[in-house]
Chain A
Amino acid sequence: MAEGVTPRVKVPKKADAGEVITIKTLISHPMESGQRKDSDGNVIPQSIINRFTCEFNGENVIDIKMEPAMSTNPYFEFDAKVPEAGDFKFTWYDDDGSIYEEVKSVAVG
């Protein structure tokens, strides 16, 4: 179980209908590659966030698969069109089975 995992998301609170907004996401996570050894020479098992998704009102916006070469605290910035008011739902999937979720609402007008 990775410790100190905190998802962070930055989404504008308001947008015009049809406006393209920039979304920034970051999850603090060690992203242990599985390639390193501890001081006793034992391999530290892989523990990464392997998938990140973003949905808007149930519709998929982005779906990312991550591999062990990803650096610690993965950061994603992407644009999304906001056709109507609703919720952005962000989900991170951890190797250990943990799922971290965050929801941000956007108002239109």
Chain B
Amino acid sequence: MKFKAMTAVAALLVAAPIMGMADEEAELVVNGEIEMVTKTEPPAHLEGALPEIMSGWRFRSDETQQTQMDDFDNPGMIFVDQAQAAWDTAEGSEGKSCASCHNEPASSMEGVRAVYPKWNEEAGEVRTLAMQINDCRENQMGAEPWKYTGNEMTAMEALISIESRGMPVNVAIDGPAQSVWEEGKEMYYTRYGQLELSCANCHEDNYGNMIRADHLSQGQINGFPVYRLKNAKLNGSHARFKGCVRDTRAETFKPGSPEFVALELYVASRGNGLSVEAPSVRN
């Protein structure tokens, strides 16, 4: 075990000069005031699988990094504005909006994003932020649920995430959530598809190396929902998971499925300690 950890460190040292990150010591500060932790000690449960955990922000080019450093430049903030309008709009049979119960997100949603996915005692399940939003829509507002990875959903997740920016991700993996977390971990290390790739093959064994024309990150989801330059919209983590599983040439799980919920919990826990960045900017 120890030997394996050492070779991993050696591989990282060799890989570092070709990582192509112009300024490796750059720190992420948003609007000149929110200081983000983009590199830190791994959580204990990783047991040395990674020497340190790094936000996807560190793997991007200078230009992309800078876009995230100012809310005016961050295109994801447009969707936050849209979600604020949705937050204040009454929908459904109960004639309620999000604001009817939760007032302003600034007062009610602080720290929420940092602890999701989270065990819901009443429902007896692990819930993602998106599941909780749809539960509110269906059962409190009497409205139609949103599509799990749809634009309304990712925008609302972004609006809620804003209130946790800069706080460390801190999802609970013990207690009732543990079995789901174990399931997610199992998935993370399971090879899928014709290419027989697990999440770990790319994001643990090869982060920093090139995958075609891009740098592999550690696959951290502290920045989700993320504004991607490639499709000019916010993307949820399950949409990203789906894309990754598809790229292994496997039949994918559905966004919002119990499998992806478990995977989200596990992947989020790998980033325990990194700052919530959402909405982040990536390519």
Contact = CB atoms under 8 A, between A and B. Distances in A.
A10 B31 CA distance: 12
A73 B75 contact: yes
Contacts, number: 17
A6 interface: yes
A33 interface: no
A26 B72 contact: yes
A8 B75 contact: no
Nearest to A8: B72
A10 B74 CA distance: 13
Most buried by A among B73, B75, B78, B81: B78
Contacts of B85: 4
Sorting the interface of chain B by its residue count into under 10, 10 to 19, 20 to 34 or 35 or more gives: under 10
Nearest to B85: A4
Interface residues of A, number: 10
B230 to A, nearest CB: 13
A10 B85 CA distance: 21
B82 interface: yes
Contact of B232 (A4, A8, A26, A72): A72
Nearest to A10: B72
B78 A73 contact: yes
A72 B205 CA distance: 38
Nearest to A6: B81
Given A71-B232, A72-B232, A24 B72 contact: yes
